[in-house]
Amino acid sequence: MICPRCAHDTVDTVTTSPVPGVWDVLQCVRCLYMWRTTEPDRRTRREAYPVEFRMTQADIDAAPEVPVVPPLRVG
Amino acid sequence: MPYDDLRSFLDTLDKHGQLLRITEQVLPEPDLAAAANAAGRIGEGAPALYFDNVKGFTDARIAMNVHGSWRNHALALGLPPETSVREQVEEFARRWDAFPVAPERREDAPWRENTQQGADIDLFEVLPLFRLNDGDGGFYLDKAAVVSRDPRDPDHFGKQNVGTYRIEVIGRDRLAFQPVPMHDVAQHLHAAEELGEDLPIAITLGNDPVITIVAGMPMGYDQSEYEMAGALRGAPAPIATAPLTGFDVPWGSEVVIEGVVESRKRQIEGPFGEFTGHYSGGRRMPTIRIDRVSYRTDPVFESLYLGMPWTEVDYLVGPNTCVPLLKQLRAEFPEVQAVNAMYTHGLAVIVSTKKRYGGFAKAVGMRAMTTPHGLGYVTQVIVVDEDVDPFDLPQVMWAMSAKVNPQDDVIIVPNLSVMALAPAANTPGITSKMIIDATTPVAPDNRGHFDTPVRDLPETPEWTDRLRALLAAR
């Protein structure tokens, strides 16, 4: 299992369905993308994941802070 | 009769045929969001949607599109469901004048029935979370009333803010959220982060319909949303003390989540399909650590679909954006008649006004841009005469087509502020803004040929009545 959005290979199981065995909710530890295993392929499979929503480590590193962390007030 | 919680309002919607219960089993995705999306596409009078048979869940109760039609919005204000949009806005403006109405404290809040704390916190056990749009980075809480206080003045009731912000669930006890710099919670966070302190926060979900309306309403920094809710309800808003933060939260909430915004920390968030009809994302945003969850037995999870307008959010933040702008403009310019700010939370605004003298309408347009809400919105203002109804778009288009000489009546001001989600800005947060003066020029602005307008004939009102009577008698 890799992240559909950033292709990272470490994925956590966040929760499982209250009815056993129906679905899991998974999360990429790198880009934090979260998905349910029963969602359509366009949200769950790397090869079907839309190009415009894909993310890379460089994207994460370059992401701007919103809002910007202000300087610490001294004294 | 005001509603003290979401459940009593759902009962009223049900009685008026404005709540559709979907009893057959649906998938959490894409069905829940697609159904709510479709509610905005089936025309006037769409109902709220209620789901309790969602695949994989044993105990899900989900309400969507609760404010998602003019009929539902009217019922939220206690008005007859057929009340017109303009009448709803006018009634809203009348009730505003009762502000402030002190809230009523009740400490027997039903959300005290159940609690999760510390290591036991698991939001997925309390809420049937799900995704809205394809590109969303995860599951969102997008209809919460979020309560925070000014760390420099924590005992000031009015500066305690109740607002709606996008909140992404990034773990069983962790959230990321978006404090747009123009919004009050961003001021609270800025003050806390300057001091290196966490910002305590209470996130309330599933509220009575008026709390949700005031939470999305652009009010003054030191004005209390609870005191405004009292004015709009015509009765004090019931509040209770949140057990961990001590903040004032709605008595009737389904779920109250308490924790802190972690100081000086940012984490990747989004994207999220926003009220602008476009995604925004790829930014590092503040994070929230959840320390306590209080909830009613069998909580109802209320969510809102948003995307390309119109969707529920456009009904929800329509009248509540028109009225503050109307009141703020009228405070200095009593000539202002009406404001239609229902397009994308007021990114585009239509103002009707009498003219004090030549050039006056353009001044009204500039003032709309410099109201507190205008600093983050109001990129386009169309100003029309006092006899043009800004809610009647064919009339507005007539005024634009007949009254505007572009050389003299279209003014573009560069490099003004706008909230960073505005998709047309080249640099997020900075945009040009435009005034279109579609009023009739008055002296000494002697332009055009407007001295002989065609007016309705004096006999027309009588004939209107006659035609109506003849049609009714057929």
Segments making up each domain of chain A, as ranges:
11-60
Specify if B3 maps to a domain: no
Whether B357 is in a domain gets the answer yes
Would B450 be classed as within a structural domain?
no
Residues B87 and B232 in one domain: yes
DSSP helix/strand/coil, B355: coil
- Residue B410 amino acid letter: V
pLDDT band at B389 (very low <50, low <70, confident <90, very high): very high
Number of domains forming the structure of chain B: 2
* B87 and B192 share one domain: yes
pLDDT value of residue B407: 97
Q: Say if B154 falls within a structural domain.
A: yes
d(CA B306, CA B312): 7
CATH code of the domain in which B418 resides:
3.40.1670.10
Do B205 and B293 lie in one domain? The reply is yes
Q: Assess whether B113 and B257 both reside in one domain.
A: yes
- The residue whose two tokens read 């924590």 is B154
Helices (H), B274-345: 312-316, 319-332
Picking from A17, A31, A60, the nearest residue to B56 by CB comes out as: A17
B122 located within any domain: yes
Residue B429 reports pLDDT greater than 70: yes
pLDDT score of B183 = 85
CATH at B218? 2.30.110.10
Give pLDDT, residue B387.
Answer: 95
Structure tokens of B370?
């410099």
- Do B171 and B210 belong to one domain? yes
Find out whether B314 and B70 touch, Cβ atoms under 8 Å. Answer: no
pLDDT of amino acid A75: 65
Q: Quick: pLDDT tens for B29-41.
A: 999 999 999 999 9
Catalytic positions of B, written as ranges: 274
At position B305, the amino acid (one-letter code) is: Y
A57: contact with B, CB 8 A cutoff: no
Low-confidence winner among B125-129, B143-147, B416-420 (lowest mean pLDDT): B416-420
- Residue that finishes a domain, picked among B306, B340, B358: B306
Q: Are residues B332 and B384 in the same domain?
A: yes
Q: Which residue has the tokens 């997020």?
A: B428
pLDDT category, B180, cuts 50, 70, 90? Answer: confident
Residue B368 Cα, gap to closest chain A Cα (Å): 25
Among B219, B258, B210, residue whose Cα is nearest residue B238: B210
Three-state SS for B74-125 is: HHHCCCCCCCCHHHHHHHHHHHHCCCCCCCEECCCCHHHHEEEEHHHCCHHH
ipTM for the predicted complex: 0.97
Please indicate if any CB of chain B lies within 8 Å of the CB of A37: no
Secondary structure element (H or E) that encloses residue B14, with its range: helix B6-15
Which domain covers residue B410, as residue numbers?
Answer: 318-438
Q: Is residue B222 part of a domain?
A: yes
B32's CB contacts (< 8 A; 6+ apart) are: B26, B51, B54, B62, B64, B130, B303
How distant is the Cα of B225 from the closest Cα of chain A, in angstroms? Answer: 24
Residue B34 lies in a domain: no
Q: Which of B278, B306, B334 is the last residue of a domain?
A: B306
Q: Which residue has the tokens 């310019």?
A: B333
Handedness of CA B271, B319, B218, B47 (dihedral sign): negative
Of B245, B274, B306, which residue is a domain's last?
B306
